[in-house]
Structure 1
Amino acid sequence: MNIKEKYEAAKQEYAKFGIDVDKVLEELQKVKVSVHCWQGDDVTGFEVSQNQLSGGIQATGNYPGRARNPEELRADLDKALSLIPGKHKINLHAIYAETNGKAVERDEIKPEHFENWVNWAKERGLGLDFNPTIFSHPKASDGLTLSHPNKEIRDFWIRHAIASRKIGEYFGKELGQTCLTNLWIPDGYKDIPSDRLGPRKRLKDSLDQIFAEKVDTKYNLDAVESKVFGIGAESYTVGSSEFYINYAAKNGILSLLDTGHYHPTEVVSDKISSMLLFSEKVALHVSRPVRWDSDHVVIFDDELKEIAKEIVRNDALDRVIIGLDFFDASINRIAAWVIGTRNMLKALLSAMLIPHDQLIKLQEEGNFTERLALMEELKTYPLGDIWNYYCEINNVPVKEDWIKDVKEYEKTILENRK
């Protein structure tokens, strides 16, 4: 059987549970995943004065072909997007500004420094998301930024964050797609602190000043991102989960959940339903922690599937903003984008092909035997035949065929980068 014939046969399998697979694919087509640009250049950015990567962030490996300038990074993104079904967004950090060779401090960045990104996105029908880059800078060299005891340093980062929000608003206006501007800081201490409250008071005051600057929520949504610990901040993180969830709830902004920013025994999938009860929208950074926040490429594993199930079964595809956040310099960087993004979409498709109402009914009835049996049998239903057809109708390679495209691009383009 060809791909279409296998798809038609698979549809009948899911139809037994009342699932209209054609409608499922129509809904999946609407999903926009925010693909992070920093996988393509190992979080280096394009600042005139290159700063050493810091803030507990490491991109390990030296695979050839890292993007060295904006043109190469956009070309690499174009290649990756050509192998991913659907129409998505690109997530930028402030260090990806283009300043025409002029040194521009981060608290002075303006929309004009991202005009090339906007024009590129506009030509392709893409949206853009944004992040202030509050790390890898001399004013973050001691691991403290918005909670720093030095007011001058705090004020610098406050100005940078405000400038970043205005850039996010600019993205939304120009592209007709609301930008998510997400704030994360590395602040914390390596050893047990003698004062936990003081830094958090300073962080709260800094955030209050940042968000006092009004931007139009039609064009820009704000999020804050917590972390449990980091390299150099193993004992105490100022912006903890409790801090940011409370701050976001009180101030009407979004709380962003990064899958690597919790204790290894915690899972983000379990947090989504609680967040949806009290927040109109929830933002995600989907990564893959291996024992810690190591930002491995997203694979089609149990936690990714559980995250997708929580989004789908709670009818929250339009309420959960899905972004990716990983950076692996040990493998082909374009392949990393393709693997991670295709897996995110595949997990959503898998969740959309589950008869959630039936499984919920069995749980409510206490019929755990049938529920478990059905959940296990569904694991071997023909998801792959549905996915292959979805790729085909989106004119992207089916199965592993995309690897040939990446190999050819590596041979003709990446290997020539020295």
Structure 2
Amino acid sequence: MSIKEKYELAKKEYEKWGIDVDKALEDLKKVKISIHCWQGDDIAGFEVNQKELSGGIAATGNYPGKARNAEELRKDLDKALSLIPGKHKVNLHAIYAETDGKFVDRDEIKPEHFGNWVSWAKKNGLGLDFNPTIFSHEKADDGLTLSHPNKEIRDFWIRHCIASRKIGEYLGKELGQPCLTNLWIPDGYKDIPSDRLGPRQRLKDSLEQIFKEKIDKKYNLDSVESKVFGIGAESYTVGSSEFYMNFAAKNDVLCLMDTGHYHPTEVVSDKISAMLLFSDKIALHVSRPVRWDSDHTIILSDELKELAKEIVRNDALDKVIIGLDFFDASINRVAAWTMGTRNMIKALLNAMLLPNKKLKELQDEENYTDRLALMEEFKTYPMGAVWDYYCEINNVPVKESWLDEVKKYEKEELSKRK
């Protein structure tokens, strides 16, 4: 039986519940996932004076073939994108600037240092997102940046973030779609602080300076990202969830939630509906924490599916900006991108193929028996047949055949990198 024939059979099963599968695929094709470039080189970047990772960030593993320069990184992204259905975005950090071999410090980066990325994105019909890189730098070695008691250090990072917003505006103008410029810092203390308020007052003041100049949201969207703890900041994190939620609400910037940046019993899926009540848009970084914020490649887990359900059932596909944020150096990096992004899209498709209206009605009727039974039965509905068809009509490999493409690429390209 052909993929199309299996798809038609699956459609009939879903149509019994009033689910328009063809429309679901049309809607899915419009969703842009922001794929993080740093999976391809273990967050090393290409600065002239490249530093070791710092700021509570670690990429574990030593799988051969990581990108050594921007050209190799774009080539690897090309391969991954050829295996992922749909047209998406790529998320950059400031350390991926190309400066022609000249040292340019973070507070001096300019839009022209990302011209090659823009040309590549235009050629491939992609959007770009951006992040200031506020770690792995001599002015972040003690784990403090925008909340640092030293004004000179704070001012350096303020200038870097202002420059990053200008780059975000440039990317948005050039590519005709808004760039999300997201701000995350590692600031915190390893042991119990004697002053919790002071660092947060300094961070608030720094952020107000960074966001003082308004940029047209048609080109650039600003977001701030919290964290519960970090390596070297186990006892106190300046940019906590409560801090950034309040700052975002008061200062008209987006709140970005990373699925690994909360206590182990908290889940971001439960937060989405609450945030949407008070925000026009929210942003996500999707990763897979294993015991802590370990940024494993995302799998089609229960929580990933719940995350997607909350986006779909609340008609929020145009309100939630979905970005990925994992970095696994223990497996083939192109495979990690491919698996993770395909799983995010699969989770959205799964959510679109649920009788969400009926399930809501059952809940409102307090018919919890039928609700639970129906939710369980749909776990074995033929979503796989619909996914295979979606891949086929988007001219990307069906099922695990993408892995053969990755292995071929590894043999022909990655294995030759030393």
4+ long deviations beyond 6 Å: none
Amino acid at match of 1:239: G
Counterparts of 1:382-393 in structure 2 under 5 Å?
A: 382-393=382-393
Residues 324-339 of structure 1: pairs in structure 2 closer than 5 A: 324-339=324-339
Q: How much has 1:216 moved relative to structure 2?
A: 1.5
Q: Which amino acid aligns with 1:16?
A: K
Are residue 347 (structure 1) and residue 362 (structure 2) matched?
no
Instruction: Map 1:395-414 to 2 at 5 A.
Output: 395-414=395-414
Equivalent residue, structure 2, for 1:362: 362
> In the aligned structure 2, how far is the partner of 1:26 from the partner of 1:235?
47
SS of the residue corresponding to residue 283 of structure 1 reads: strand
**2:284 maps to 1:284:** yes
**What CA deviation, in whole Å up to 9, does each residue of 1:93-115 have, x standing for no partner?**
00000000000000000000000
Which residue of structure 2 lines up, in the alignment, with residue 252 of structure 1? 252
The within-5 A match list for 1:99-110 is 99-110=99-110
Q: How does 1:12-411 map to 2 (within 5 A)?
A: 12-411=12-411
State the alpha-carbon separation in 1 of the partners of residues 392 and 203 from structure 2: 49
Q: Using the alignment, how far apart are the partners of 1:369 and 1:275 within structure 2?
A: 29
What is the alpha-carbon distance in structure 2 between the residues aligned to residue 138 and residue 346 of structure 1? 41
Separation of aligned partners in 2, 1:252 and 1:169 = 17
Deviations 1:169-191 (A, max 9, x none): 00000000100000000000000
Shift of 1:287: 0.3
Per-residue deviation, residues 109-161 of structure 1 (Å, max 9, x unmatched): 00000000000000111000000000000000000000000000000000000
Q: Secondary structure at the match of 1:379?
A: helix
Distance in 2, matches of 1:174 and 1:254, equals: 22
TM-score (norm. length: structure 1): 1.00
Task: Measure, in 2, the Cα distance between the counterparts of 1:189 and 1:272.
Answer: 29
Structure 2: how far apart are the matches of 1:224 and 1:137?
A: 20
Q: Secondary structure at the match of 1:295?
A: strand
Separation of aligned partners in 2, 1:342 and 1:70: 24
Q: Give the count of matched residue pairs.
A: 418
Gaps of 5+ in 2: none
Residue identity opposite 1:144 in structure 2:
L
1:89 partner letter: K
Deviation track 1:309-333 (CA, whole Å, cap 9, x = no partner) reads: 0000000000000000000000000
Deviation at 1:217, TM superposition (A): 1.2
Aligned-pair distance for 1:166? 0.3
- How far has the Cα of 1:213 moved from its partner? 2.0
1:411 counterpart SS class: helix
Give the percent of matched residue pairs that are identical in Structure 1 and Structure 2. 80
Q: 1:204 and 1:51 mapped to 2: Cα distance? A: 28
Per the alignment, in what secondary structure is the counterpart of residue 289 of structure 1? strand
Aligned counterparts of 1:206 and 1:326: Cα–Cα separation in 2: 28
SS of 2:340's equivalent? helix
- Residue 215 of structure 1 deviates from its aligned partner by 1.6
Q: Deviations over 1:384-418 (max 9, x none)?
A: 00000000000000000000000000001000001
Amino acid at match of 2:168: G
TM-score if structure 2 supplies the norm length?
A: 1.00
Q: CA RMSD in A?
A: 0.3
Structure 1 unaligned runs (5+)? none
Shift of 1:214: 2.2
Paired with 2:307 and 2:241, the residues of 1 have a C-alpha distance of 18
**SS, match of residue 385 in structure 1:** helix
AA of the residue aligned to 2:342: R
Aligned to 2:391, what secondary structure does the other structure show? helix
Alignment-mate amino acid for residue 310 of structure 1: E
Matches of 1:41 and 1:161 in 2, distance apart?
A: 23
Structure 2 CA distance for aligned equivalents of residues 197 and 329 of structure 1: 37
Offset at residue 74 of structure 1 (A) = 0.1
Quick one: distance in 2 between partners of 1:2 and 1:215? Answer: 51
Distance 2:29 2:184 in 1: 30
Q: CA deviation at 1:291?
A: 0.5
Q: Is the partner of 2:234 in helix, strand or coil? A: coil
Within 2, Cα distance between the matches of 1:100 and 1:112? 11
Q: How many angstroms does 1:358 deviate by?
A: 0.3
